Amino acid sequence: MSALLAVDLGVRTGLAAFGDDGRLRWYRSQNYGSAARLRRAVPALLAAEADTTRLVVEGGGSLERIWRAEAEARGITMQQVSAEEWRALFLLPREQRSGVEAKRTAAQLARRVIEWSGARRPTSLRHDAAEAILVGLWGVLSAGWLRALPPDILRSA
């Protein structure tokens, strides 16, 4: 068994863990308040799933380097993806015209991933957690853990 951890980078971080069956295990949003606190939390976050073999991060800069260093130290394969890249896979061009529209659509799609996976339903779903879910979905497709989006996740015609 393997797990993938997806991260929407920021001091307020979105996190989502997926199993090698492509299903979402858990997700959350966490505000670390500072880069120093996030740096101290990263080892525990990567250890949260003992079988984590892949890390997918959206974003860059100094926060990305924190994750990369810890992943390398643990032998975890890391991929970096841009919002434009994963959004192009999941969102229609008209849904990407504004950040507000992209975030709204991402939240709707993330809720379908939660439902399909049988994960705990959110009382509220912050945009960073929703985006981490979609970054993770992009990651499991990229890793070949899913060959295609399941019909239950695809938007209805």
Is the pLDDT at 151 greater than 90? The verdict is no
- Average of per-residue pLDDT across 8-30: 95
- pLDDT tens-place string over residues 96-134: 888 788 888 889 999 999 999 989 888 788 989 999 999
106 in a structural domain: yes
CB count in 10 Å sphere of residue 93: 8
Q: What is the pLDDT of residue 4?
A: 97
DSSP 113-156: HHHHHTPPPPSS--HHHHHHHHHHHHHHHHHTSSSS--TTTSPP
Q: Does the global pTM surpass 0.85?
A: yes
Beta strands in 20-150 (DSSP E): 24-31, 52-58, 77-81
Q: What is the pLDDT of residue 91?
A: 84
Q: What is the pLDDT of residue 71?
A: 97
Total domains, the chain: 1
Residues spanned by the domain of 108: 3-143
What burial class does residue 106 get, using C-beta atoms within 10 Å of its C-beta: 0-12 exposed, 13-18 middle, 19+ buried?
buried
- Mean residue pLDDT of the chain comes to 91
Q: Is the dihedral of CA 25, 107, 56, 154 positive or negative?
A: positive
108 in a structural domain: yes
Is the pLDDT at 143 greater than 60? The verdict is yes
148 in a structural domain: no
CATH code (residue 55): 3.30.420.10
Phi, then psi, of 28 in degrees rounded to 5: -170, 170
Is residue 16 very low, low, confident or very high in pLDDT (cuts 50, 70, 90)?
very high
150 in a structural domain: no
Q: What is the pLDDT of residue 102?
A: 83
Which residue has 């929407």 as its token pair? 8
Dihedral angle computed from the Cα positions of residues 26, 50, 72 and 36, in that order, rounded to the nearest 10 degrees? 60
Is the pLDDT at 156 greater than 60? The verdict is no
152 in a structural domain: no
157 in a structural domain: no
66 in a structural domain: yes
156 in a structural domain: no
What are the residues whose beta carbons fall under 8 Å from the beta carbon of 84, sequence distance 6 or more?
A: none
| Phi-psi label, residue 119: left if phi above 0, alpha if psi -120 to 50, beta otherwise | beta
Q: What is the pLDDT of residue 155?
A: 60
Q: What is the pLDDT of residue 157?
A: 31
Is the pLDDT at 32 greater than 50? The verdict is yes
Q: Are 105 and 87 in contact (CB under 8 A)?
A: no
Is residue 37 very low, low, confident or very high in pLDDT (cuts 50, 70, 90)?
very high
Q: What is the pLDDT of residue 121?
A: 87
